[in-house]
Structure 1
């Protein structure tokens, strides 16, 4: 059996303040994105909306339904809310996912993706699959398996993997209507991870282990090609570098993880449609023209 890819971009996660998802949806629509309803996740803590691209990738606009303080202190509900991996995150780009598998756990308790990555190097460790899901506004129940990096790596530093148990088109309905964006967005051109210079070499080795291919070096930046579910556009890239400007250093200093964070997302748009970068609160988007 052919081993699954470990560098296929699935989606990028954007976090809003609790209860502020509608405001974020409005802001993304003002930027020319077509945003469709997502639903409520199985744990009841978060809800989302989706920006789906024709290459099968998407942006997940997510928020916690309620602030932590709305759950009684010391209650199981509060403990569940506080222990959520995205609970400590600041609003903005917080995480990204590669496509995983929907296969059951192996008898040894490890998962398909984690076995592949963990066998490559001791620099990085992934855990076994954990079940997840979401109910759509229409009442359809979606199910998937999540493979996450071990706790010591943090969340939003290395990708997690999302593998569908129910058909992927239920989770990501790639239709002409859903992928038609007024701003002509076609897909994700790149993700920029900023990292402190002290941690650059280690993170580079870890990303190389996950993707299974060495980085390309361009000036002071490292870059890896990413696959997509549908090869309709030029390849996207995961880009890694240390801060070059005061603005980038300020972003890194304010990040909850202190030494790494998703600083910028590039979006493919039709030739001639690129414009100035969009800087929503805590969110930077750069438009990348497709050269035919």
Structure 2
């Protein structure tokens, strides 16, 4: 791993709703007790977002396509079903290259992972018109069965700020990160994969994260992630959890959507709130702080 470069700082999780339904999605999250902060329109004009910002510095990106994307579009999220579709780790402004760092690891351990060179992205904030810029480092499509399969959503992408991160993730005013649900941050991100693919998927993720799992069994692998630099919370940092789909519902989920995010664990202060909640398209588990 390149000195000074971490590739295991959780940045945000992406929740997709159907084209033109961003405000409906925001209302659904508000009803779950989340404060929703205005986002803006991305530089390509195809997508727009709103944010749910947590005190630990992570956030949820509520995203929609402003119009139904054409079948020919190359946008990596255009043909994803609604729900949890992708997750990002914190990148950098380009030096050292996140892609080069991960690709060197993958070549050494034979995981087959490959990341494409960084590309510039950005959006204009809806509230004040400020233009934000970043670099995206994303997994490259893989060749298989004569097709080019996308690894987006299976492996994380990286978002590295060119403009200050606080422009992209406004933790001030503090009310942006205060939620009626008493949510304080991300407890875990849970991925699902078919049992036959568990070992290979775990090897890929180890290449990306640059550390060995903290725990593993025949059906689950867990990695400890690092805190956001802005995070001063007293509780445990998030974890990345990879589970083999064992129940019928889980297997159907993976077969229909592919391996990737199944569930988001949200750390809450209220011990009595523990349990499962649902957005219109995604699964949330409230986890009391200190119960892990």
Query: For the Cα contact (< 8 Å) 1:117–1:209, is it kept in 2?
Result: yes
Choose from 247, 250, 254 the match for 2:249.
247
Q: Is the 8 A contact 1:183 1:273 kept in 2?
A: no
The alignment's TM-score, normalised by the length of structure 1, stands at 0.89
**Runs of at least 5 residues in structure 1 that lack an aligned partner in the other structure:** 70-77, 105-110
Alignment-derived partner of residue 157 in structure 2:
160
Q: How does 1:128-167 map to 2 (within 5 A)?
A: 128-137=117-126, 138-152=128-142, 154-167=151-164
Instruction: Give the one of 169, 185, 196 matched to 2:166.
Output: 169
1-structure distance, mates of 2:139, 2:58: 21
Contact 1:184–1:273, Cα closer than 8 Å, also in 2:
no
Tell whether 2:91 aligns with 1:90. Answer: no
Q: Does the Cα contact within 8 Å between 1:10 and 1:228 map onto a contact in 2?
A: no
> How much does 1:219 deviate?
6.2
**What is the CA-CA distance between 1:198 and the residue it aligns to?**
2.1
CA contact (8 A) 1:49 1:60 kept: yes
Contact 1:278–1:286 at 8 Å: present in 2 too? yes
**1:181: how far off?**
0.4
Contact 2:17–2:281 (8 Å) recurs in 1: no
Where does residue 287 of structure 2 map in the other structure?
288
1:218 is displaced (CA, Å) by 4.9
Residue 201 of structure 1 is matched in structure 2 by: 199
Distance between the aligned counterparts of 2:232 and 2:187, measured in 1? Answer: 12
Distance (Å, rounded) in 2 between the aligned partners of 1:3 and 1:29: 38
> CA–CA distance in 2 between the matches of 1:198 and 1:219?
11
Match of 2:209 in 1: 211
- Whether contact under 8 Å (2:138, 2:158) holds in the other structure is yes
CA drift at 1:249? 1.3
Distance between the aligned counterparts of 1:217 and 1:199, measured in 2? Answer: 15
State the alpha-carbon separation in 2 of the partners of residues 112 and 280 from structure 1.
36
Residue in 2 that maps onto 1:228: 227
Gap runs ≥5 in structure 2: 143-149
